[in-house]
């Protein structure tokens, strides 16, 4: 079945450092890929998405490119801020899985001032 | 903006009680979901619904049931609460899309209900 694997955390960075959170997936068909973010005490919210191969999703300085050849959707940001401290979830839905969403385990990011 | 509202942020109940968690969305979404979130286990799907009065089991339905009498409301019921059901419960909704087999629409989440069973 479909699955999502993302790097374990926590990830600790200093402010203005470069961020990469790795995400790989296994799926049949042509799924859509998502990154969600969860701030403390809140539910998940959509950060960005890509619906087909080679699409790049971007939002708030974060980017991720849908790479079908490597089945990856890595999250990147050039310069993190303290306010980016949160848990980040990679997810996929669609393809042969329909509208059910498969979530990765989440990666906690701490950014120090 | 889509608003998904869960009735309680924090709830404390006793073992054996019947517990109701309510979720309401205001954007006419067809799909609604209940998850539980536990440290180290990520999000696990309990039940989902793609239409009024329709429901499907997710990955961990045991000990739970759901009700969807109106499109905007999706209720999770713990029939007889147990301590291993202490968790954060998240409700979500999404729009049905004919393209991408309905899977290219993001889910919109409520802020969660932290449920403790004593």
- pLDDT digits 0-9 by tens, B10-44: 999 999 999 999 999 998 999 999 999 998 888 99
CB contact under 8 A, B102 and A99: yes
CB contact under 8 A, A32 and B104: yes
Instruction: Return the pLDDT at A98.
Output: 67
- Residue B9 · residue B89 · CB < 8 Å: no
Q: Give the other-Cβ count within 10 Å of A87's Cβ.
A: 19
Q: In the beta sheet, which residues pair with residue B43?
A: B37
Q: pLDDT tens digits for A48-103?
A: 999 989 999 999 999 999 999 999 999 999 999 999 999 999 999 876 666 678 89
Q: How far apart are CA A30 and CA B104, in angstroms?
A: 10
For chain B, first and last CA: distance in Å?
37
Whose CA is closest to B4, among B28, B39, B40?
B28
Does A94 contact B at CB distance below 8 Å? yes
Q: What is the DSSP string of A48-75?
A: EEE-STT-EEEETTEEEE-BTTTTB--E
Residue spans of chain B under pLDDT 70: 1-2, 97-103
Task: Output the average pLDDT for chain A.
Answer: 93
Residues of chain A contacting B48 with CB distance shorter than 8 Å: 100
CB contact under 8 A, A105 and B105: no
């Amino acid at each position: 079945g479909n699955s999502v694997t993302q790097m374990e955390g926590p990830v600790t960075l200093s402010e203005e450092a470069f961020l990469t959170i790795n995400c790989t997936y296994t799926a049949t068909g042509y799924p859509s890929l998502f990154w969600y973010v969860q701030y403390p005490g809140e539910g998940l919210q959509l950060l960005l998405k890509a619906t087909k191969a080679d699409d790049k999703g971007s939002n708030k300085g974060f980017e991720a490119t849908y790479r079908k050849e490597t089945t990856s959707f890595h999250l990147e940001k050039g310069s993190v801020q303290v306010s980016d401290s949160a848990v980040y979830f990679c997810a996929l839905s669609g393809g042969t899985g329909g509208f059910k969403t498969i979530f990765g385990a989440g990666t906690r990011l701490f950014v120090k001032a | 903006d889509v608003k998904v509202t869960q009735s309680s942020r924090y709830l404390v109940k006793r073992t054996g009680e019947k517990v109701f968690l309510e979720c309401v969305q205001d954007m006419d979404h067809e799909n609604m979901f209940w998850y539980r979130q536990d440290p180290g286990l990520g999000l696990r799907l309990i039940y989902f619904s793609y239409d009024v009065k329709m429901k499907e089991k997710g990955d961990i339905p045991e000990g739970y049931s759901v009700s969807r009498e109106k499109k905007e409301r999706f209720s999770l019921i713990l029939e007889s609460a147990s301590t291993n059901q202490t968790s954060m419960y998240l409700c979500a909704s999404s729009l049905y899309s004919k393209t991408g087999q309905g899977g290219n629409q993001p889910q919109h989440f409520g802020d969660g209900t932290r449920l403790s069973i004593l």
